Amino acid sequence: MASVYILFSPNLNKFYTGSCKDLTYRIQQHISKEFFKSFTSLTDDWELFYFMDDLEYEQARSMELHIKKMKSKCFIF
């Protein structure tokens, strides 16, 4: 099963949308800046804003891409 998630950074006032197969592990990767050149490595104050679990991986990816395609904070709220 997979998840789609949205993180929020108060410092940057930005959202990050992603999808993964293991949400707990993936969030830990963001917090520890495992991918040091990624967008989420810019700050360490990421908060889990929203998530949806128990999805098929293809469905989670599709939702992630749809959210990113909207390019609007209004869509997230």
Q: Provide the CB-side half-sphere exposure for 15 (13 A, CA).
A: 18
Name the helix (H) or strand (E) containing 19.
Answer: strand 14-20
This prediction has a pTM of 0.90
Please write the tens of the pLDDT for every residue from 23-75.
Answer: 999 999 998 999 889 999 999 899 999 999 999 999 999 999 999 998 877 77
Please tell me the predicted confidence (pLDDT) of residue 64. 95
